Structure 1
């Protein structure tokens, strides 16, 4: 089975940015994410759309 959700650590590696930057983007609501039971999760599909658009231009 191919996983479509990622945790913060995996998103940092996937996007090539530091984990702290992922948390900052989440805090500023600049990156698509979900919070379920105090856990931040991301979908690969939403990250690909976000990164393909103007979303990756910084915080």
Structure 2
């Protein structure tokens, strides 16, 4: 069975940032996530889509 979710540490590694950055982004609702009780999870599909949206937004600002 393939896992389709990541925890905070895995997401931080995936994005190349520290876990504190991920927690800050979660608190300010800047990154797609969901909670299961007290744990925070990220859908790999949602994070990939979010990255594409961030790249697209950046490209439009640069023009």
Residue correspondences, number? 56
Specify every segment of 5 or more residues in structure 2 that has no aligned partner in the other structure, as ranges.
59-63
**CA distance in structure 2 between the aligned counterparts of 1:17 and 1:10, rounded to whole angstroms:** 10
How far residue 28 of structure 1 moved from its aligned partner, in angstroms, is: 0.3
Choose between structure 1 and 2: higher helix proportion.
2
Name the residue aligned to 1:28.
Answer: 28
Q: Please say which structure displays the higher CA radius of gyration.
A: 2
Q: 2:46 — aligned with what?
A: 46
* Runs of at least 5 residues in structure 1 that lack an aligned partner in the other structure: none
SS at match of 1:40: strand
TM-score, normalised with respect to structure 1 = 0.87
Q: CA RMSD in A?
A: 1.4
TM-score (norm 2): 0.82
Which residue matches 1:7? 7
